Structure 1
């Protein structure tokens, strides 16, 4: 079973947020998920348990490293694949 999560991260306290976004994208590479990077968001596809682990870990990292941010998560229901 796989699920899809679309993640949008916006650091609100950075003049140029690209560096923080790039750091999180590099962090995603350690997980067993498919990653599709879009212009405004990133989509991850994987086992539901792994997807939720990624979301929690990214939130924890952002909370420690970024003063203010917006993190939007859109989830699709799991597929049988």
Structure 2
């Protein structure tokens, strides 16, 4: 796991925790008859969470692609440098 992926994972976990806390708060308010006021906000937060998760998946894929490309570049550089030393 790279440092960027770790930071991304941490951000996703913080967002999940915040949403869970909000859902708990909304459930408590709903039980008290206040839930109707917060349903649009909850829907908006759920949509934002889904967008964040999609962005996370996109960034993870981009990170994996970059890691593969970097590995290939390193292998090519090592091959060139190794070839120059043998000759």
Quickly name the TM-score band, shorter chain normalised: 0.3 to 0.5
More helix by share: 2
Given the two structures, how large is their TM-score scaled by the length of structure 1? 0.34
- Rg larger for: 2
